[in-house]
Structure 1
Amino acid sequence: MHDGQSRGTATAGDFVINTTDLQEAEKSLSTLFGTIRLSTPRPQHNARTQLWRSHIDHLVIDDAEFTFDMGYEMDPPDSVLLCRVHSGILEETPRGQASHRYGTGSVVAFGAVEGRPLIGRVEQSRYHVLTVPRRCLAEAAGDVDASTSLTSSRPLSPAANQYLVDVIDHVRHGVLSNPRAAREPLVAAAVTRYVAASMLAAFPNTPAGPSRPAGDDDNHEALRRATAFIEDHAGEDISLADIARAARVSPPTLGRLFRRHRQITPMQYLQEMRLRSAHRQLVDADPTTDSVAGVAHRWGFWHLGRFRQLYRSTYGDSPESTLTR
């Protein structure tokens, strides 16, 4: 779909759509997002559609640009499309409801309500799209029944909108700008959960469904199973729901067990195990071939400043000093 243009500002990925043909744009968008129909009030000349795509784990990250006005109708998407508008207008018109227009700086979650088709307009707009699988929202909530879902496409408040802008920028500039980090499985998984958890904090949503029957807060066998699972699988992409399943209790009960008997959460304990593994790797590493960033990313720490701060508070020294000692 390339027709001779390049995009020098991109840090990862490649063009998947770059065309001035409306039918080609419609066909390509349908392939990527599900069946979509585009319409224009009059013939459009040199009306360009561009889409630049990158990936981090289960997240698909697109830069989209339409240099013309158009209407769209789209079948209900399988995933939630988290959009941040850079210029122009995105308009959403749910059937039987008033239209909502999103301008520069706005964030909207198209497909937030599962099973609802998307209808609206795009007015000469450029925006980012993060395609977030619905199951990632449930995993971020520790929902073993996968019943957690968004109930609105609009953030709870202007502050929530700005929070999402910061999250999207952080992912694009903090991770995509470092392709090596984005390829590390634990970093990629952490970024996916970070985005999903941020969406749950910023959009109205349903709480997790009824949890499975669980033991009481002194279930030491469940705590033992959970800690053993964490220690055995710290180098893998595991979620709170995974740990709860291994412990044979619900996520809320698991959280109470850890807070009562370890004074931390299960995910904090997982972070401790990963930090311990990173420390051991730095002690054994070769400073001529290894790096602090490489070790941090291997163990899922994608923000190096926070990794250094956590490392120093735990070990009383910087990771660089450990590596070169």
Structure 2
Amino acid sequence: MTSPPVRTQQFDSRDPAAIHRFLSTMYDPRLRIHSRNGYRLTHRRVDTGSFAIATTRQTGQLDIGASALGGLVIGRAHTARVDRACAGSTNRFGPGDVFLVTRPEAPCTARWQPGEVELCVLDLSVLAQVATAAPARRPGQIRFTDLGPADAALARQWRNTTSFISEVVLNNPTTSAQPLVIGNAARMLAAAALMVFPNTAFTEPTNADRHDANTATLRRAIAFVEEHAGRDISAADIAGAAGVSLRAVQLAFRRHLGTTPMAYLRRIRLGRAHNDLVRADPGRETVSAIASRWGFASHSRFTARYHASYGVPPRETLNA
């Protein structure tokens, strides 16, 4: 499975018309922007297809109205103050604060004071790869019930997650070119968003899920994982291949193996990376390149996991 190439877009302008065209194209065709004075806007956006992370700074006071932002848009104020009105409530955010800009497809307005903000735009389909919205057999749409984080510790987790993905994944040409790494990063963001912001996702299995969490389900799931470990697959893909719900396949792995579907997939990929290290020419290959090919973005984390499993650092296997 291939994924679209990661694209970096940079924009810098003092022309209000050009700024409006750019932001409307990026976020909302019906976007409204008003400023009493001239201002400058700089914008850097790294877009992977399934998610994008943008850092944008402006020097004026902007009144912004959005009708329907595409995807789930999560803001993080770096140095700016933002007053956001949505669904009858108004909130003020300052440096360090994390917030949902609005609910998907819901209008909002914001007053953005001079400074920098970070925006993470997440495709809604990624949410369904890590959670489901209702106890019914057919997944529903997940709704967010609050636009702020559940608590300060979870807000800090969101900041740590986006910082890791920006610095370790997107700023490294080796990892950002690997579909498995990008897929893992998208699901990491989705799982973090569902943990940080209150929502209607269900995680507890139903009676039907418990019935389906049997060894036959596990065998089908394992066969799919082992055959498709080199592709960007999610827990939802594993469940679909096994013919059960997401919660059922999660329960099957927990009940019979004491792990999760994605942790089992990482174990299989670690073994494939080990095989590549054994066969690789150390003059042509590197540990980082092999690790990222199998979905491991962090060299240090891969090294620690490999050492724990094989008793030696991966570089020793490569150079043997």
The question of a shared fold, defined as TM-score above 0.5 by the shorter chain, is answered with yes
Partners of 1:134 and 1:30 lie apart in 2 by 20
Matched, 1:197 2:188: no
AA aligned opposite 1:280: N
Partners of 2:143 and 2:234 lie apart in 1 by 17
Partners of 2:200 and 2:210 lie apart in 1 by 25
AA aligned opposite 1:89: R
Which region of structure 1 is more displaced relative to structure 2, 218-227 or 156-165?
Answer: 218-227
Which region of structure 1 is more displaced relative to structure 2, 188-197 or 22-31?
Answer: 22-31
2:273 alignment partner, one of 275, 278, 290: 278
The 1:162/1:96 distance shift into structure 2, 3 A limit, reads same
1:33 aligns with 27
Partners of 2:144 and 2:173 lie apart in 1 by 30
Paired residues in the alignment total 308
Per the TM alignment, residue 214 of structure 1 is displaced from its structure 2 partner at its CA by 4.9
Kindly indicate whether the alpha-carbon contact (under 8 Å) linking 2:215 and 2:256 is maintained by their aligned counterparts in 1: no
The 1:217/1:74 distance shift into structure 2, 3 A limit, reads closer
Per the TM alignment, residue 260 of structure 1 is displaced from its structure 2 partner at its CA by 2.2
Residues 183-222 of structure 1: matches in 2 within 5 Å?
Answer: 183-208=177-202, 214=209, 216=211, 219-222=214-217
AA aligned opposite 1:264: T
2:130 alignment partner, one of 119, 137, 140: 140
Residues 56-95 of structure 1: matches in 2 within 5 Å?
Answer: 56-95=48-87
Matched, 1:108 2:108: no
Q: Deviations over 1:195-240 (max 9, x none)?
A: 1111111111112499795572563322211110000000111111
Q: Deviations over 1:158-180 (max 9, x none)?
A: 11111111111111111222122
Per the TM alignment, residue 57 of structure 1 is displaced from its structure 2 partner at its CA by 4.9
2:229 aligns with 234
The 1:14/1:214 distance shift into structure 2, 3 A limit, reads closer
Matched, 1:152 2:146: yes
AA aligned opposite 2:67: D
Kindly indicate whether the alpha-carbon contact (under 8 Å) linking 2:132 and 2:141 is maintained by their aligned counterparts in 1: no
- 5+ unaligned residues in a row in structure 2: which ranges? 1-6
Kindly indicate whether the alpha-carbon contact (under 8 Å) linking 2:41 and 2:59 is maintained by their aligned counterparts in 1: yes
SS in 2 for 1:131: strand
Per the TM alignment, residue 95 of structure 1 is displaced from its structure 2 partner at its CA by 4.5
AA aligned opposite 1:202: V
- What CA RMSD, in Å, does the superposition of the two structures yield over aligned residues? 2.0
SS in 2 for 1:120: strand
1:176 alignment partner, one of 162, 170, 176: 170
TM-score of the two chains, using structure 2 as the length reference: 0.90
Partners of 2:318 and 2:74 lie apart in 1 by 39
2:314 aligns with 319
Per the TM alignment, residue 321 of structure 1 is displaced from its structure 2 partner at its CA by 0.5
Which region of structure 1 is more displaced relative to structure 2, 306-315 or 258-267?
Answer: 258-267
The 1:190/1:24 distance shift into structure 2, 3 A limit, reads same
TM-score of the two chains, using structure 1 as the length reference: 0.89
Q: Deviations over 1:222-277 (max 9, x none)?
A: 22111100000001111111111111111222122222222222111111110110
Kindly indicate whether the alpha-carbon contact (under 8 Å) linking 2:9 and 2:44 is maintained by their aligned counterparts in 1: yes
Partners of 2:121 and 2:207 lie apart in 1 by 30
1:131 aligns with 121
SS in 1 for 2:79: strand
Partners of 2:213 and 2:40 lie apart in 1 by 62
Using the aligned pairs only, state the percent identity: 31
Partners of 1:85 and 1:215 lie apart in 2 by 43
Partners of 1:218 and 1:13 lie apart in 2 by 43
Per the TM alignment, residue 185 of structure 1 is displaced from its structure 2 partner at its CA by 0.5
Partners of 2:274 and 2:41 lie apart in 1 by 48
1:5 aligns with none
- 5+ unaligned residues in a row in structure 1: which ranges? 1-11
SS in 2 for 1:51: strand
AA aligned opposite 1:25: I
Partners of 2:82 and 2:219 lie apart in 1 by 51
Partners of 1:148 and 1:212 lie apart in 2 by 21
Per the TM alignment, residue 86 of structure 1 is displaced from its structure 2 partner at its CA by 1.1
Kindly indicate whether the alpha-carbon contact (under 8 Å) linking 2:178 and 2:295 is maintained by their aligned counterparts in 1: yes
